[in-house]
Structure formats: C-alpha cells, structure tokens
Structure 1
Amino acid sequence: MTPVPAPRTDAWMDALPQAVLLFEAGSGRPDALIVTRVNAAAVRLWGVPQARAAGRPLLEIVRRHTLEALAERGGELELEAGGRTLRCTAVRAAEGQAGALIVDDLTHHRRREAELREATAVLSHEFRTPVTGLRGVLEALEYDMPPDLAQSFVRQGLQEVERLARLVEDLAVGFRPTRARTLPLAEAFARAERLLTPELTARHTALTFGPDHLVRADPDKLLQVLLNLIENALKYGPPGQPVEVGTRLRGTWVEVAVLDHGPPLGETDSLFLAHTRGPHASGQGSGMGLYIVRSIVHGWGGQAWTERRGERNAFCFTLPGAGGTL
C-alpha cells in the first residue's frame, strides 16, 4: 500500500492573503539574507516559485534594496510598486532563528478609500444647491409679502426639501437608478432661473434660453447640470454680460450649450476631471462641478465638452430627445 505523505507543517502559510517570505543570515556571508521559504501569495507577488526561491539571496527575489534594508533592520513601511500599494513588515533574523518579510497588498483598500472621498466630495457639492435655495426662500419669507407670493416661495422651498430628501436617501442606500421621465427643457430652465434669480440680479446679468425641446432625463440631475454650468458662466464671465443657454437638435439627441463672455480657456479636457479648476478660477471651490456634470451626462449616455464659439466659451452637453421642438 502506498504511504500517504504527511501534511506539511507550514501549509497554513499558503492560506494567508499576505505575501510571506522567510529568511536567515547566510553562513558564508553574514551580511547576506538567504530565502528559506515563500508562501503562495509571495509566489504570485514576485513571480518566483518556492523551488527557485529557496536558498537564493533575498534581494534576488524582492528586487528592491528598500525591502532588503527593511529585512535587515526590521520595522514597517508602505511603498508603491507596479501600480500597487504595499505595506511591508519585517522581523529581523535573530541568531539561529529565521526572519520574516510580510507584505500586505493595500491597493483595493486604498482604491475604496479614494472612491469614498470622491463620493463625499460629490455629495457635498450636490447638497450645496438645495441648501442655498432653501436659505434664499427662508430669507425672503422673513419679510411681509402678498399671500400668493409667499405661497410661491413655500412651494419652491418644498421642492428643495424634496431634493434634499432624495440626496439623503442616496447617501443611506447608495446611488439608485436615475428617475428619468419625459419633460420639456423649459421646465428645467424655469427651475434653474428661479433658483439663480438673486445671483442674476446681483450681477446685473440677463439669462436667455433657446427653443424648447422634449427630452428624456432625471429632472433633478438635469437641473444639477444646468445650475453647475450657469453658475460657472456667472462666476467667470464679466458682470453685466448676458449668459445664453442655447439648444438645438442633433439627430435623436438634444444639445444644450451655456455660453458666456469669459476669456478663452485654452486646454479644456482636464476641466472635467475631479478636483480640477480652470486657469481663471479664484476664491474657494472644490473643482468638482464639471466632473459632476460629465458624470451625470455620461449616466444618460450623453457627452459633455467645452469649446470656443466666436467670442464666447460654450459649455455643452447632450441628452436624449423625446419628440421634437415645442
């Protein structure tokens, strides 16, 4: 009968998610560290199988003087290697005993942290608009006014409360599918103009809109895109110069362009990256506005870009059309 081989006493090492490399001081060269064992995760990390790793100098396996020095002195460090973030811990080889180099791949963890920071920045930016709208409504209601006008402000405030409630729900359960419906662009234009009236008045700026079209979109997301682009135009265009929101059909899509009289922007692709601001930006800002615009527009399958049209900057996006001009 063929004898059953005894299980390896160090087989547990191969079950560890961390890369583990055991080493000892070389007898011929006391200053050299010699590998005695690598586990399965270490084989995947450094691409050297156990049979070839055992008996070789540690530096030949890890190929980094930083890790060799860490193994010699012990301790912990974090480094970037091959697009991955690695946390490395070393236990020095005491006399007559093996040392260990343990490497934990934190790449996925760091990516999740970055995604959470990004989501937090996006949400804080989206909260700003309804909060600003509510502040304006409450400030207006402090003054005596005709009942019908007061009722109009109350309705506007309730709209913003509903938007806040939806954002809170998103924060609690994650981003849900968009609540798309067919609507006239004029509906979104009217909401945006109403919310921006105080700023338009303060800047003595006129806001005009192009022909109406039926579109298919989430009304709140469409409003968020319009507010971001029109607020940018007001912020970076000369005071007193009009801002135009142009529209036109492009096949089955509708193009919306916000045009301002600001200075030429030069290279513009980077403007839509997260935490990026234009060359003429001043004051405080998160650099998230155009990133949010492009993310929302891509979500309904459209495109977002900017270009120079004559003497004006045009910030453009497309959204699905739903049946011609109104």
Structure 2
Amino acid sequence: MDSAPADLTADAWMDALPQAVLLFGGTGGGGAPGLTVTRLNAAAVRLWGVPQGRAAGRPLLEVVRRHTLEALAERGGELELEAGGRTLRCTATHAGEGGALIVEDITEHRRREAELREATAVLSHEFRTPVTGLRGVLEALEYDMPPDLAQNFVRQGLQEVERLARLVEDLAVGFRPTRARTLPLAETFARAERLLQPELGTRRATLTFGADHLVRADPDKLLQVLLNLIENALRYGPPGGPIEVQTAARGTWIEVAVLDEGGPLQGSEALFRAHTRGPQAPGQGSGMGLYIVRSIVQGWGGQTWTERRGERNAFCFTLPGGAGIG
C-alpha cells in the first residue's frame, strides 16, 4: 500500500524534468525480444508524439523512429543530433536489464555559444586598429624630433589608449549603449587620415575627403566604420590607386561613400556577412570587417551597401545628420 504514493512521486518527478526521458528494457544488440519502452516522461511524450499508454511495451525504434537513437540505446554513450532545426544532446545509460535514453534540447545553448564566438571575433577585430595606431606612435617616438611634434604623437597615443580602455570595458561588462554626440565629419576624417598615414605612404596611395557635415554618432564607432572601409580600399584596390571619400546629404541622413578603382565586385551583398571575404581577397583575414561595418551602422539606424559608380567601386553607408557646415 505504501508503494503507490512512492510510484506516483517518482512519476511526478520524472514528468517535471525538462529533458525527455525514455526508460527501456530488453536485451538489445539484435537479440530477441530487443529493446522495449517501459516509461516515457511528459517531455518525451511531447518530443516523440506518442502517449505513455501507447508507448509502453512497444519496440524502442517504433517510438523514437531513428536507428541512430536505437543504436545509442543499445551501446550506451552520448551524441548530438540535429532534428527539425533543433540540436539535441542524447545520452543512453544501462542498469541491469534496462536503461534510460535522455534527450536534452541544447539549441539555445549552441546559439549562445555562437553569439559569444561572434562577439569575440568582433572585439578582436576592433582591437587591431588602436593597437596598430599605438605601434606607429611608439615607433615614431623612438626618433629625435621637435618637442611639439613629439607632443602631438603623445596625444595620438593617448587617444588610442582611451579607445583600448573602452574596448576593455565592453569586453568586461558587455556592449554598452552607444556614446553618441553631434560632431563634424571632418573631425573623424582627420583622425582616420592620421592613423592611416603610414599605410598610405607604404602603398603610395592618395586619400581625399568630400564636404563636411554635422552628424550624430559615436565618434569611435564612426571612426571604426571609416577605417574599415578605407583599409579595404587600400588592400583590395589597385596598388597606388586614389581613394576618395564622398559625402552627400540625403534628407535628414548623411551618405558617406568610399570609392576605389578596383574591378567589379561579384556577390557584393554577401561580403557583409560574418567570416566572408571576396574571392580575390589576398592574404588571410577574419572576414569580419564589413560585417562590423554593417553591425555598427544598423545600430544607429543607417544602411550599408555597395554599388558601381562609373569605373569605381563604392562602399556606402548612411548616418543621422544635422545642419550642414559650409
């Protein structure tokens, strides 16, 4: 008389589990009568769509409908299975003449892992720009130079240290809301030109900028967008080719376009996806540059695209504008 409440308690405990649990008995391994289902919990009923009353006593394969799971139940162990767009972690254990098949939906866990990898890739890419700037500053300070010029390099170095500090904060506590302010585009153009000067000299390329406009953006994020696009033009355009940054007012938005004299692009929309590089991209790269550009621009509500303008490729983006200057 005391066993019934205990059984009911065990059944309720099993049904409360989020994992699907199938208890089975039998010999398995091809022997008669094979593995048969003895008990399903509520999650298993939902997963396989077979009520407990119909499942009990039936061959395990008729319930799970996958030879992979039948084989796992026979031998024991663990595997991951893709089914219906979900990722399932399946574990089989044996005890005496029976055992248990436990299935856990880990789709959300795998999604969070992918997001963490993506965030790590984005941060590592963003770290590259201030680190490169600091290296250039320190290399310049190795040489004798007038005090005012040395002081200018020190200021540049401090700016890059500040950017690194902000990235470290983002890494430690997650991505914070944008630090937007109103600023002239010329301010960001000057910072970008300063940081890119060594690479411009090495590649013997020229860089020109269009008309100034007031915009509303996070200055560091705007700089990151501009640097990524100009660096792409430097690396993937023809050596020594001119690079032009054009600007135009589009209603309440400002359009910025970085133009180079590279050949026509194939499948340009795909270039904005994570870990994607053009088929003719030289050397090795993370394929994250344009993905970061699009992520930042979408964060302030803008758009990104590429188009062919005459004999040049244009990588374009929009950002909120203010009153024009000059």
Which stretch has the larger CA shift, 168-177 or 61-70?
A: 61-70
Counterpart contact for 1:18–1:103, Cα < 8 Å = yes
1:77 aligns with 79
Report the 3-state secondary structure (helix = DSSP H, G, I; strand = E; otherwise coil) of the residue aligned with 1:238: coil
Aligned to 1:199: 199
Structure-1 residue corresponding to 2:107: 107
Deviations 1:122-176 (A, max 9, x none): 1100000000000000000110111111111111111000000100111111100
Residues 30 and 92 (structure 1 numbering): CA distance in 2 closer, same or farther, change over 3 Å? farther
2:322 corresponds to which residue? 322
CA-atom RMSD, angstroms? 1.7
Pick from 24, 45, 61 the counterpart of residue 59 of structure 1.
61
Instruction: In structure 2, list runs of 5 or more residues that go unmatched.
Output: none
Give per-residue Cα distances to partners, 1:285-307, cap 9 Å, x unaligned: 11100000000000000011111
**Secondary structure at 2:157's aligned position in 1?**
helix
- Which whole-Å deviations, capped at 9, do the CAs of 1:2-50 have from their partners, x for residues lacking one? xxx84343321112222110112289x8243221111122122222232
Within 5 A, what are the aligned runs for 1:42-191? 42-92=44-94, 94=96, 97-191=97-191
User: 1:35–1:155: structure 2 CA closer, same or farther, 3 Å change rule?
Assistant: same
Amino acid at match of 2:216: R
| Cross-structure match for 1:219 | 219
Amino acid at match of 1:20: V
The question of 1:23 aligning with 2:32 is answered no
- Residue identity over aligned pairs, in percent, reads 82
Q: How many residues align?
A: 319
SS in 2 for 1:323: strand
Taking the aligned partners of 1:54 and 1:212, their CA distance within structure 2 comes to 76
Q: Deviations over 1:217-259 (max 9, x none)?
A: 0000000000000000000111111000011111111110000
Q: Is the partner of 2:175 in helix, strand or coil?
A: coil
4+ residue runs over 6 A deviation: none
- Could you say if the C-alpha distance between residues 248 and 10 of structure 1 is closer, same or farther in structure 2, counting changes exceeding 3 Å? same
2-side partners of 1:51 and 1:66: how far apart? 24
Aligned-partner residue type, residue 25 of structure 1? G
**For the residues of structure 1 that align with 2:46 and 2:263, how far apart are their CA atoms?**
53
Deviating more after overlay: 296-305 vs 85-94 = 85-94
Of the structure 1 ranges 108-117 and 286-295, higher mean CA displacement relative to structure 2 is found in 108-117
| Aligned-residue offset at 1:93 | 6.8
How far, CA to CA, are the matches of 2:55 and 2:134 in structure 1? 66
Query: How much has 1:83 moved relative to structure 2?
Result: 1.6
Query: Partners in 2 of 1:223 and 1:302 — Cα distance?
Result: 15
Partners of 1:122 and 1:44 in 2: CA distance: 39
How far residue 77 of structure 1 moved from its aligned partner, in angstroms, is 1.5
Return the offset for 1:65: 1.0
CA shift at 1:101, angstroms? 0.6
SS of equivalent to 1:226? helix
- Note the residue ranges of structure 1 that are not aligned, 5 or more in a row: none
In the other structure, the counterpart of 1:291 is 291
- Tell me the secondary structure at the aligned position of residue 134 of structure 2: helix
**Cα deviation, residue 61, structure 1:** 1.8
SS class of match (1:314):
strand
- Deviation of 1:59 after TM superposition, in Å, equals 1.6
1:190-226 Cα distance to aligned partner (Å, 9 max, x none): 1000000011111111101111111000000000000
Mapped to 1, the partners of 2:268 and 2:89 lie a distance apart of: 37
Q: Aligned with 1:10: secondary structure?
A: helix
Moved more, 149-158 or 103-112: 103-112
Tell me if the contact between 1:246 and 1:258 (Cα under 8 Å) persists in the aligned partners: yes
Q: Which amino acid aligns with 2:22?
A: L
Aligned residues of 1:265 and 1:279 also touching (Cα < 8 A): no
Alpha-carbon distance in 1 for matches of 2:152, 2:10: 77
Equivalent residue number for residue 10 of structure 1: 11
Paired amino acid for 2:70: E
2:243 corresponds in structure 1 to 243
CA contact (8 A) 1:24 1:93 kept: no
TM-score of the superposed pair, with normalisation by structure 1: 0.94
1:9 is paired with a residue of what secondary structure?
helix
